[in-house]
Structure 1
């Protein structure tokens, strides 16, 4: 399956969601290129960026699951960088 590079931006407003968020990210670890977390203590939130290279459906599913967590907002930005699956039409 073709993969696509994307960035998932996450804002965590409730600490209760952090454990479940980390579980979701752990389950997607084979696709995650990198992760940056910034605790914004003055506002009581955490800002997290996830760089990911995965099939479109995996990215959408992960972003959707994250966005459904109570106290968490997520947005995804997709690049135009798409890598054809091995054995695909481009090989």
Structure 2
């Protein structure tokens, strides 16, 4: 199956969404190359960048599920390799 390298950028405004986000990332862990989380306390948000090597439909599914969580924004950037 063809895979692509992508980055999903996640901004969390609602701390209560953190559990659901971590469960989703755990569910898709086989595709995760790495992740970095930054708590931005001055703004009351958290920012997570997740690098994936996955088929396009898997990346889209994860990004969509993340973005449906209350108080969460998720956007995906896919490399042209």
TM-score between both structures, scaled by the size of structure 2 = 0.98
- Specify every segment of 5 or more residues in structure 1 that has no aligned partner in the other structure, as ranges: 82-91
Task: Tell me how many residue pairs correspond in the alignment.
Answer: 81
Partner of residue 63, structure 1: 63
Q: Higher helix share goes to which structure? A: 2
CA RMSD after TM alignment: 0.5
1:38 deviation in Å?
0.2
Q: Which residue of 1 aligns with 2:43?
A: 43
Q: How does 1:29-40 map to 2 (within 5 A)?
A: 29-40=29-40
Q: Partners of 2:4 and 2:76 in 1: how far apart?
A: 12
Q: Distance in 1 between matches of 2:17 and 2:64?
A: 14
Partner of 1:54: 54
Taking the aligned partners of 2:54 and 2:78, their CA distance within structure 1 comes to 11
Per-residue deviation at 1:80?
1.1
- Give the secondary structure class of the aligned counterpart of 2:61: helix
- In structure 2, what is the equivalent of residue 85 of structure 1? none
Query: For the pair shown, which has the larger CA radius of gyration, 1 or 2?
Result: 1
- Structure 2 Cα separation of the partners of residues 3 and 36 of structure 1: 21
Q: What's the TM-score once normalised by structure 1's chain length?
A: 0.88
